[in-house]
Amino acid sequence: MSELEKCMESLIVLFHKYADEDGDGKHLSKKELKKLVETELPTFLKTQKNPKTVECIMKDLDTNKDDKLSFEEFLPLVAGLSLACDKCYMLQQKPRKK
């Protein structure tokens, strides 16, 4: 398996690990999302000034308003945070000579 394939597999396995805490396995409840964010994204959570960050994330991502997140609804969180991290990464890189 390639490195990217391993990363994708890890993301899928991680989602379902947390989604399965209530036995559903296919969706994250607000409680499961909170545990995932607290455990897997502690640095992100520490930088947030809003104590209701998880509630806001759930509201923003839950496109069908069923009070749970499918994997498809969860992915924009990962993509958005990855884009923000990439911007920080690029700012820290030294300019390269051409």
Question: How would DSSP label each residue in 13-71?
Answer: HHHHHHHGGGS--S-B-HHHHHHHHHHH-HHHHHH---TTHHHHHHHHH-TT-SSSB-H
Q: pLDDT, tens digit, for every residue of 26-61?
A: 999 999 999 999 999 998 888 888 888 899 999 999
Q: What is the percent of the chain with per-residue pLDDT over 90, rounded to a whole number?
A: 68
- CATH topology for the 3-92 domain: Recoverin; domain 1 (1.10.238)
Residue 97 pLDDT: 61
Q: What is the percent of the chain with per-residue pLDDT over 70, rounded to a whole number?
A: 95
* Nearest Cα to Cα of residue 33 among 51, 46, 15, 8: 15
CA distances from 23 to 28, 32, 38, 40, 68 (A): 10, 11, 20, 20, 13
Q: pLDDT, tens digit, for every residue of 3-27?
A: 999 999 999 999 999 999 988 899 9
pTM (2 d.p.)? 0.84
